[in-house]
Structure 1
C-alpha cells in the first residue's frame, strides 16, 4: 500500500510541476513572442533618446505587435517622457520585416492626453 501511495504522490507532483511550468511559459511567452523583442525594444528606446535629449523615461510598456502583411509587422511601445518640467506619453512604432528580421521605419508620436 505504501508503494501505491508514494507513486500517486509522485504522479500528482509531476503533473502539478508540469502544469505550473506550462502556465508560466505561456504567460511570459505572450508578451515576448518575437525572439527579437529585445532588439526592437532597444531600437525604440534609442530613437526616444535621440528625439528627446536629456529626458527621463518611465513606465516603459510593450503594447504589442500588429501584423500588417506577410512582410511587414509593427511593434508598438509606449513610454512616459519627462522633459523640461513637461510630462507626456510617447508612442514608438517600429515597422519591421519579420521574415528578414529587418527594420523598415521608426515613428515617434507624442500622444494627446
Structure 2
C-alpha cells in the first residue's frame, strides 16, 4: 500500500505528539529546585571530601520584594562520620538571580 506525503506527515506529527507531550508532563519542578542545586554545588565545593547522603528543603523566608531566602539541610559523610550543614540561598525573586549562598555546620 502506498501513502501520499500528506498522510506520512500527519502520521509523523501524531507519533511525535506521543513522544513530546508525555515527556513534558511532570517536568515542572518546585520553585526551590533551582536553589537547591545551588546549595548542593556550594556544599560540594566547600566539603569536597564528603559524600552527600541526605538533602531536605526546610522552607523559604520572604525578606522583601527583592530578597528571599531558601533553606536546606544536608547530611554529609566522610569515613563513617556524619556532618550536617545548613545551606542558606539568598535570591532576588524579581530577577530570579542568586545573591549569596552561605553555609552553617549544625549538630
Task: Establish whether TM, by shorter chain, passes 0.5.
Answer: yes
Which runs of 5 or more structure 2 residues have no equivalent in the other structure? 1-29
* Aligned pairs (5 A) from 1:28-47: 32=30, 34=31, 37-47=32-42
TM-score, length-scaled by structure 2 = 0.68
- Give 2:87's aligned residue: 92
- Give 1:59's aligned residue: 54
Number of aligned pairs? Answer: 80
Q: Pairwise CA RMSD of aligned residues?
A: 1.8
TM-score, length-scaled by structure 1 = 0.65
Which runs of 5 or more structure 1 residues have no equivalent in the other structure? 1-31
Asked if structure 2 preserves the Cα contact closer than 8 Å seen for 1:76 and 1:93, the reply is: yes
Stretches of 4+ aligned residues off by more than 2 angstroms: 83-86
Question: Which has a greater percent of helix?
Answer: 1
DSSP-derived class of the 1:53 partner: coil
- Residue-by-residue CA offset, 1:66-108 (whole Å, 9 max, x unaligned): 0011100000000101124431210000000011101110001
